[in-house]
Chains A and B, each alone.
Chain A
Amino acid sequence: MSTTMRRSKKRTDGWVACVYLLPAFLFLTVYIGYPIVSTVYYSFFDWSGISPKREYVGLDNYIDLASDKIVGLALGHNLIFLVFGLIAVLPFAFLVAMLLTRGAVRARKLLRTVYFFPVVLNLVVIGTLWGLFYNPQRGLVNTVLRSVGLDQMAQGWLGQQNTALPALLLVSLWMRAGYYIVIYMAGIKGLPPDVWDALAIDGAGFLRSAVSVVVPMLRSVIGSSAAMAVISSINDFGMVWVMTRGGPVRATEILGTYMYKEAFSQFHMGYGSTIVLVMLALSLVLSVAQIRALERGLVEY
Chain B
Amino acid sequence: MESAMSRVSGGLGKLLSRLFLLVWFVATCYPVVWMLSTSLRTNADVVTKPWGLPRSFLWQNYAEALRKAPLLRYFVNSVIVSVVSVLLIVLISAMAAYAFSRLRFRLQKPLFYATLLGLGIPTHIALVPLFVLNLRLHVADTYLALIGPNVAFGIPFGILMIRGFMLTLPRELEEAAEIDGCSRFALFGRIFLPMSQPALAVVAVFAFVGTWNEFLFALTFIHDPAFKTLPIGLMDFVGEFTTQWPLMAAGMVVATVPMIVFYVVLQKRLMEAMTTGALRG
Contacts and interface: CB of A to CB of B under 8 A. Distances in A.
Interface residues of A, number: 116
A14 B106 contact: yes
A128 B104 contact: no
A89 B127 CA distance: 29
Query: Looking at chain A's contact residues, is the secondary structure mostly helix, strand, loop, or mixed?
Result: helix
A82 B248 CA distance: 32
B120 A291 contact: yes
Contact of B280 (A119, A182, A297): A297
Which of A21, A114, A139 has its CB near the most chain B CB atoms (within 10 A)?
Answer: A21
Interface stretch (A68-76, A152-160, A202-210): A202-210
A64 B20 CA distance: 49
A283 B278 contact: no
B9 A30 contact: no
Given A122-B213, A174-B28, A294-B160, A197 B1 contact: yes
A31 B130 contact: yes
Interface string B97-110: 01100011110100
Given A120-B213, A264-B220, A225 B128 contact: no
Contacts of A197: 1
Contacts of A273: 128
Contact of B24 (A115, A124, A193, A290): A115
Interface string B1-35: 11111011100011001101100110111011011
Interface in B141-195: 148-149, 151-153, 155-156, 159-161, 163-165, 167-168, 184-185, 188
Query: Looking at chain B's contact residues, is the secondary structure mostly helix, strand, loop, or mixed?
Result: helix
Interface in A278-301: 279-280, 283-284, 286-288, 290-291, 293-301
A38 B132 CA distance: 10
A17 B105 contact: yes
Q: Using C-beta atoms within 8 Å of the partner chain, give the interface range for chain B.
A: 35 or more
A297 B121 CA distance: 21
A35 B130 CA distance: 7
A114 B24 CA distance: 10
B167 A36 contact: no
Contacts of A119: 274
A117 interface: yes
Which of A42, A128, A237, A259 has its CB near the most chain B CB atoms (within 10 A)?
Answer: A128
Given A103-B14, A295-B160, A32 B32 contact: no
Interface string A225-244: 10110010011011001100
B57 interface: no
Contacts, number: 320
Contact of A21 (B28, B96, B230, B281): B96
B47 A223 contact: no
Given A123-B231, A196-B5, A293-B281, A32 B160 contact: no
B84 interface: no
Contacts of A27: 92, 148, 151-152, 155
Given A35-B125, A129-B31, A124 B277 contact: no
Contacts of B29: 114
B278 A228 contact: yes
B87 interface: no
Given A129-B35, A237-B124, A187 B279 contact: yes
A284 B27 CA distance: 35
A21 B47 contact: no
A104 B4 contact: no
Given A105-B17, A179-B274, A209 B152 contact: no
Contact of A102 (B8, B27, B135, B234): B8
B245 interface: yes
B116 A295 contact: yes
Nearest to B188: A20
Given A20-B99, A103-B8, A223 B248 contact: no
B225 to A, nearest CB: 16
A103 B281 contact: no
A132 interface: yes
Nearest to B130: A35
Given A27-B155, A183-B278, A13 B256 contact: no
A34 interface: yes
Contacts of B129: 34-35, 38-39, 42
A231 B1 contact: no
A62 interface: no
Contacts of A295: 116, 160
Given A203-B3, A224-B278, A114 B99 contact: no
A280 B125 contact: yes
8 contacts: A28-B118, A38-B129, A39-B128, A100-B21, A116-B274, A120-B213, A260-B127, A283-B121
Interface of A: 12-14, 16-18, 20-21, 23-25, 27-28, 30-32, 34-36, 38-39, 42, 49-50, 95-96, 99-100, 102-105, 111-126, 128-130, 132-133, 138-140, 143, 174, 177-179, 182-183, 186-187, 193, 196-197, 199-200, 203-206, 209, 220-221, 223-225, 227-228, 231, 234-235, 237-238, 241-242, 256, 259-260, 263-264, 269, 272-273, 276, 279-280, 283-284, 286-288, 290-291, 293-301
Q: Would you list the 3 A-B pairs with minimal beta carbon distance, nearest first? A: A287-B120, A224-B281, A297-B280
